[in-house]
């Protein structure tokens, strides 16, 4: 007997995709863009999309796309999605739960033989995390049509180029922009995602509504000093790149902690060269991630970081280069869709919804350049994410599915009311 659509099934499917062959790491979950785990995952998702009543395809950027046709062919679509890639040593629900809930929402309507004046498309973006190549949301920006100016001559940590990775996947870097969707094809974009923070759990709420997504800068900092023998180079004569970088990391932490509550600053990756025990480090490369609820707060923090790091470099007689790799503007969710989502969450939970600003970046902030967007947050245990301890409650996933199907009904009713007013 065929199972009925449910949030529980969405969680179970996320769990299935958390192991080999859907991961490139047999000891944990790591699903980088265009890897073997990514390919296996798309095959599995395509089967589930077909089972739910959709046609499935992989676009020019390596995203998986399922389409549930509307009452007429070629109707514009309400798009539901999130990402299928992961960080290294990841949890199972970041991104993937949103894709699975999109499939369950379509299955729910298909079981009831319900079609709408619009199509419903479910998309699993291939590259949100940037865990393989040194930019994030590459595949999302391809769909949104915002790749102009992006350097595509990118290499992963193993020296494999983006062009080669796409070719192995059966795709062509020269056709990456063919994934772009015309604005008239997408009515709105909706994303369900675990909160990746502790607010909903602290307030004993299963669901929340996102009102905005924080602004983000990502830099690559390179510090160059002078390498030398660890046993013969006097301490007072050293130009130690790692010692300078260590002081810089503490300065970044201090600046992030001295700002508003929504300001965060993180160094998450560092490479030391030559990286051997008996040589004073000559060069260090590290990442800087700065986020805030508004662009103004983020920008002031970035200038403070630049000034502090330049001062440290001068005092320690090393050179510093800060290269901007990513600039994501603060994104306000569409007010009309946010109201619909608030109504849907209140109907599902029976209480007034909690609205939150997302400190994490999401595909939705890129898709907002293509279509109006809304986001639904789902409680996660301890607010833990990007970690194998990531966990959700199956009853919360069921409530999320209820809210999503109710949102789609309300979206349909709003469109019908608008069309009726237009004929009067």
Rounded to an integer, what distance in angstroms lies between the CA atom of residue 60 and that of residue 265?
A: 34
Count Cα atoms within 13 angstroms, Cβ side, for 352.
1
Check the annotation: does 362 bind a ligand: no
Map residue 42 onto helix, strand or coil: helix
Q: At what angle do helices 7-16 and 394-423 cross, to 10 degrees?
A: 120
- The helix or strand, by DSSP H or E, that contains position 289, with its residue range, turns out to be strand 283-292
Neighbours of 57 (CB within 10 A): 12
Cα separation values, 344 from 204, 301, 340, 347, 410, Å: 18, 37, 6, 5, 8
Short-list 192, 188, 195, 38, CA closest to 100: 192
Instruction: Tell me if 379 is assigned to a ligand binding site.
Output: no
83 annotated as belonging to a binding site for a ligand: yes
- In this structure, what is the dihedral angle of CA atoms 71, 74, 75, 77, given to the nearest 10 degrees? 110
SS3 at position 210: strand
Which stretch of DSSP H or E encloses residue 405? helix 394-423
DSSP 357: E
Annotated binding residue 347: no
Residue 291 annotated as lining a ligand binding site: yes
Q: Is the peptide bond before 21 cis (omega within 30 degrees of 0)?
A: yes
404 to each of 42, 143, 271, 294, how far by Cα in Å? 23, 23, 43, 28
**Closest by alpha carbon to 222, among 128, 290, 286?**
286
Tokens of 12: 């179970």
Whether residue 409 is annotated as binding a ligand: the answer is no
Q: Which residues are annotated as a binding site for allantoate?
A: 218, 278, 291
Q: Which residues are annotated as a binding site?
A: 83, 94, 129, 193, 218, 278, 291, 386
Q: Which residues are annotated as a binding site for Zn(2+)?
A: 83, 94, 129, 193, 386
């Amino acid at each position: 007997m065929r199972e009925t659509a449910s949030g529980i099934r969405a969680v179970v499917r996320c769990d299935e995709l958390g192991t080999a062959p859907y991961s490139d790491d047999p000891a944990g979950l790591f699903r980088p863009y265009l890897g073997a785990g990514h390919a296996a995952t798309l095959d599995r998702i395509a089967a589930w999309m077909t089972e739910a009543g959709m046609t499935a395809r992989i676009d020019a950027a390596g995203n998986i796309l399922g389409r549930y046709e509307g009452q007429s062919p070629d109707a514009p679509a309400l798009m539901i999605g999130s990402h299928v890639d992961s960080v290294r040593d990841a949890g199972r629900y970041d991104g993937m739960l949103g894709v699975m809930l999109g499939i369950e929402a379509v299955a729910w309507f298909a079981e009831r033989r319900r079609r709408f004046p619009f199509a419903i498309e479910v998309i699993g973006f291939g590259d949100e995390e940037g865990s393989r190549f040194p930019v994030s949301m590459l595949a999302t920006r391809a769909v949104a049509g915002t790749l102009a100016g992006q350097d595509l001559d990118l290499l992963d940590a193993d020296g494999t180029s983006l062009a080669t990775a796409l070719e192995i996947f059966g795709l062509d870097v020269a056709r990456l922009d063919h994934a772009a969707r015309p604005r008239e094809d997408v009515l709105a974009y909706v994303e369900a995602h675990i909160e990746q923070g502790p607010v909903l759990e602290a307030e004993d709420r299963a669901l929340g509504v996102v009102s905005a997504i924080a602004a983000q800068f990502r830099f690559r900092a390179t510090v160059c000093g002078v390498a030398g023998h660890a046993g013969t180079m006097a301490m007072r004569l050293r130009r130690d790149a790692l010692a300078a970088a260590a002081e810089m990391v503490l300065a970044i932490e201090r600046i992030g902690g001295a700002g508003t509550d929504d300001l965060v600053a993180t160094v998450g990756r560092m490479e030391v060269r030559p990286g051997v025990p008996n040589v004073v480090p000559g060069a260090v490369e590290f990442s800087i991630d700065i986020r805030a609820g508004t662009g103004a707060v983020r920008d002031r923090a970035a200038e403070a970081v630049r000034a502090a790091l330049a001062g440290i470099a001068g005092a320690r007689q090393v050179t510093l280069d800060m290269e901007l790799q990513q600039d994501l503007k603060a994104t306000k969710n569409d007010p009309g869709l946010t109201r619909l989502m608030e109504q849907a969450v209140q109907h599902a939970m029976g209480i007034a919804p909690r609205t939150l600003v997302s400190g994490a970046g999401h595909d939705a902030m890129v898709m907002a350049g293509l279509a109006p967007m809304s986001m639904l947050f789902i409680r996660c245990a301890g607010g833990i994410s990007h970690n194998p301890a990531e966990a959700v409650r199956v009853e919360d996933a069921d409530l999320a599915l209820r809210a999503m199907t109710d949102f789609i009904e309300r979206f349909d009713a709003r469109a019908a009311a608008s069309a009726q007013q237009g004929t009067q």
